[in-house]
Amino acid sequence: MSTISEQINTLEQRVSSNEDSVEDLIKRIKLLEKDNANLKDKVDDAENRSRSCNLRFINIPEKSEGRDVIAFMNQLIHSSWTKTTFRRLFPLRGHIDLQLPGLGIQLASHGRSWSSFLACRTRSVYYYLAKVKKELLFHEARVHNFPDFSAELTKRRREFDTVKKTLREMDVNYSMVYPCTLRIDEDGKSRSFRCPADAEQFIRWNETLSSKE
């Protein structure tokens, strides 16, 4: 009996030791997952900051650029906004994208996705013109344009699409703050949301916004 009791005690100690080891491994795994997620965020942020002066143009017909991409992009922008006070917008370089992140845009036949690098001031002027003019046209067809974010950040920002559509229908001002924060402006006050669910809840429960429906 004493031998069996000793064996049972030994087994219990081993089980307890194994449980402690498993708990320690679980803690280490969670810590590594957290570190990995932080590193991925830093890499994605560095990528997006390196592309901060890029603009993505979608739905440009194939072979429209000819041999000079820069000249074509200048002509495209100026032909749509000829009445503006800004006479020169200089893309520094441009290229055709072989892969297009999911932007939810239907391309016309032979449509292409472009990325064009602009100087910071040029990009700011472009954003202003896009806001005033609303549309960039090429041969009477609309050319969609977006900031050139990474695929991962584009996916995260698209999660707010339903909320933004609701806000537009309610005629409420909003903006997306880099990297992925929705800011709602109402009656001189601003609210920021990093989670689409929180923004949806705010819209449902806020009487001031709901009264505009």
Ramachandran angles phi, psi of 165, nearest 5°: -60, -45
pLDDT of residue 98: 43
In this structure, the answer to whether residues 55 and 143 fall within a common structural domain is yes
Ramachandran angles phi, psi of 150, nearest 5°: -70, 165
In this structure, the answer to whether residues 34 and 9 fall within a common structural domain is yes
- The reply to whether 116 falls in a domain is yes
At residue 158, what is the residue type? R
pLDDT of residue 180: 93
Ramachandran angles phi, psi of 189, nearest 5°: -115, 150
In this structure, the answer to whether residues 60 and 106 fall within a common structural domain is yes
In this structure, the answer to whether residues 10 and 93 fall within a common structural domain is no
In this structure, the answer to whether residues 59 and 117 fall within a common structural domain is yes
Q: Is the pLDDT of residue 9 over 60?
A: yes
pLDDT of residue 101: 43
- Alpha-carbon gap, residue 168 to 139, rounded angstroms: 28
In this structure, the answer to whether residues 71 and 145 fall within a common structural domain is yes
Domain housing 45: 1-49
In this structure, the answer to whether residues 70 and 103 fall within a common structural domain is yes
- The reply to whether 204 falls in a domain is yes
- The reply to whether 78 falls in a domain is yes
In this structure, the answer to whether residues 141 and 59 fall within a common structural domain is yes
Q: How many domains does the chain have?
A: 3
Of 21 and 12, the structure prediction assigns the larger pLDDT to 21
Q: Report pTM.
A: 0.61
Among 43-47, 85-89, 91-95, 141-145, top mean pLDDT goes to 43-47
SS (H, E, C) the chain: CHHHHHHHHHHHHHHHHHHHHHHHHHHHHHHHHHHHHHHHHHHHHHHHHHCCCEEEEEEEECCCCCCCHHHHHHHHHHHHCCCCCCCCCCEEEEEEECCCCCCCCCCCCCEEEEEEEECHHHHHHHHHHHHHHCCEEECCEEEEEEECCCHHHHHHHHCCHHHHHHHHHCCCEEEEECCCEEEEEECCEEEEECCHHHHHHHHHHCHHHHCCC
In this structure, the answer to whether residues 190 and 116 fall within a common structural domain is no
Report the percent of the chain where pLDDT is more than 90: 22
Neighbours of 12 (CB within 10 A): 10
The enclosing domain of 103 has a CATH number of 3.30.70.330
The enclosing domain of 178 has a CATH number of 3.30.250.20
Q: Is the pLDDT of residue 55 over 80?
A: no
* Structural contact between residues 146 and 56, judged by C-beta atoms closer than 8 angstroms: yes
- The reply to whether 112 falls in a domain is yes
pLDDT of residue 62: 73
Residue-wise pLDDT for 119-166, tens only, equals 555 566 666 666 666 677 777 777 777 777 888 898 999 999 999 999
- The reply to whether 154 falls in a domain is no
* Structural contact between residues 44 and 50, judged by C-beta atoms closer than 8 angstroms: no
Residue-wise pLDDT for 99-130, tens only, equals 444 433 333 333 455 555 555 555 666 666 66
In this structure, the answer to whether residues 164 and 141 fall within a common structural domain is no
